[in-house]
Amino acid sequence: MIPLSDAEFIIIGGGAVGCGVAYSLARAGKTDVLLIEKAADVAQATSAQGAGLCGQPRPTAERTRLAMHSVHTFRELQKDPKVQPEWHEVGSLRLALTEKRAQEFRQLKSVADEVGLETELIHPGSAARLCPSLDFKGATAILWCPSDGYMRPYAVASSYAYQCRKLGVRIATDTTVENILTENGRVAGVATNRGKAACRYVINAAGAHAYHLARLAGIELPIVPVRHEYYVTTPLAGWTPELPCFRVPDLTLYGRPCEGGLLLGGWEPKALNTDPRSFDLAGEPPPVVPDWEVLNHFEKQFAPILGQTRISEKARVGRGWPTFTPDGRFIIGESRRMKGYIMAGGCNAHGISGSAGIGRLVVESILEKNPSPYLHSLSPDRFTETSWTWEQARVQAAHVYETYYGV
């Protein structure tokens, strides 16, 4: 266990986001960084459960660029043979089953063209050559993005941590932040179960506990944990690791090859969410028990696309409480309410694929005199300087989840 020490930056939380932020700071030359994680290792909470897909085509140029930066970083991390994110740049296929969706894909393609992301609208025959295990006959459009892919979420956080340590970042595991220390409206440090550490900036990347740690600094943010699940089958003939990821938004499904079988997940039409005020900083959100009704429904929905493949046994279920915000946007940047208090949360289930891009935005928020309008739109101030109720916030955050693939 490393000794606790003062630092310029203290990051709370060693999930994909906290580790991605630490890596971005270190790459920007800011290496006086202490990352504090309460578990014995990085990526033990939500990040451990992620499906690991990274899709770059997005409805806006800024969001697409953010994902492209993450892919660029995963490639870079993959070059170090010692600890790799297990990044598989296998491409992704997006299937439309309606004309409205096909129109959305044309729009995604035009945004991709604008920012220089290679994508192509391809015919079912070409898609079948890329992924012989799926049936593309009913598709009204298919969008192919060759530089998309998947990774192992724990491996991503570990490879960030490995590179960070080489650059001088200190990572204190088995250490719990219990309070935020302030002085004259500015962050002064943190109190932990192992003592105090002073700092100039606190970066809150505490996932499902980001609400509680913001509250300790007097910042009330609607960061709503919403349940999400997928399953992985036992090995299936034909589902080799180099097959592309796929998304069928009209069926609200996504998947990829995984552990010799298929990983299949989806967005439920009625999302289960939890009020972060119902558990405290020292507690945990309720355990997520596999919901077989939901998981079997994914399988039923998926059947027409699966062609000849018959789903074998389900080997394991991935599940957890990724956090959602009422407007579906990340919460990134310094709070007007507390100088030096920086948010990196509310990831809307993009925290692994977005980790490097989020890290870059956090660095921009600290180092840039004139942050971009996009970064400004992610500010925590949009919630602290307006009025909202928890009831509304939960309904809206659940709606963001339920319409994840909304046109």
Ligand X SMILES: Cc1cc2nc3c(=O)[nH]c(=O)nc-3n(C[C@H](O)[C@H](O)[C@H](O)COP(=O)(O)OP(=O)(O)OC[C@H]3O[C@@H](n4cnc5c(N)ncnc54)[C@H](O)[C@@H]3O)c2cc1C
Strands 245-248 and 92-96: parallel
Q: How far is the CB of 143 from ligand X (least distance, A)?
A: 18
Q: Which of residues 205-224 bind ligand X (CB under 6 A)?
A: 205-209
Residue number with CB closer to ligand X (49 or 119): 49
**Other CB atoms within 10 A of residue 17 CB:** 34
Residue 90 makes contact with ligand X by CB under 6 A: no
Among 23, 27, 30, 47, binds ligand X (CB under 6 A): 47
From residue 97 to residue 136, the character string flagging contacts with ligand X as x (rule: CB under 6 A) and all else as - is ----------------------------------------
* CA separation for the pair 42, 158 (Å, rounded): 7
Q: How far is the CB of 7 from ligand X (least distance, A)?
A: 14
Among 85, 244, 261, 318, binds ligand X (CB under 6 A): 318
Among 352, 356, 375, 398, binds ligand X (CB under 6 A): 352
Q: How far is the CB of 20 from ligand X (least distance, A)?
A: 8
Residue 324 makes contact with ligand X by CB under 6 A: no
Residue number with CB closer to ligand X (281 or 294): 281
Residue number with CB closer to ligand X (311 or 317): 317
Specify the stretch interacting with ligand X by CB under 6 A; choose among 26-34, 114-122, 313-321, 329-337.
313-321
Q: How far is the CB of 12 from ligand X (least distance, A)?
A: 5
Among 57, 91, 261, 320, binds ligand X (CB under 6 A): 320
Residue 202 makes contact with ligand X by CB under 6 A: no
Residue 34 makes contact with ligand X by CB under 6 A: no
Among 83, 198, 281, 294, binds ligand X (CB under 6 A): 281
Residue number with CB closer to ligand X (25 or 128): 25
Residue 52 makes contact with ligand X by CB under 6 A: yes
Residue 67 makes contact with ligand X by CB under 6 A: no
* CA separation for the pair 68, 357 (Å, rounded): 8
Specify the stretch interacting with ligand X by CB under 6 A; choose among 9-17, 140-148, 298-306, 308-316.
9-17
Which strands form 120-121's sheet, in the order they lie side by side? 120-121, 141-145, 92-96, 245-248, 253-258, 261-266, 228-233, 314-320
Residue number with CB closer to ligand X (44 or 312): 44
Among 22, 25, 33, 45, binds ligand X (CB under 6 A): 45
Residue 86 makes contact with ligand X by CB under 6 A: no
Length of the chain: 407
| Residue appearing with tokens 């202490």 | 34
Specify the stretch interacting with ligand X by CB under 6 A; choose among 123-131, 181-189, 319-327, 375-383.
319-327
Residue 285 makes contact with ligand X by CB under 6 A: no
Site residues (vs ligand X, CB under 6 A): 12-18, 36-39, 44-47, 49-53, 176-177, 205-209, 228-230, 281, 318-320, 322, 345, 347, 349-354
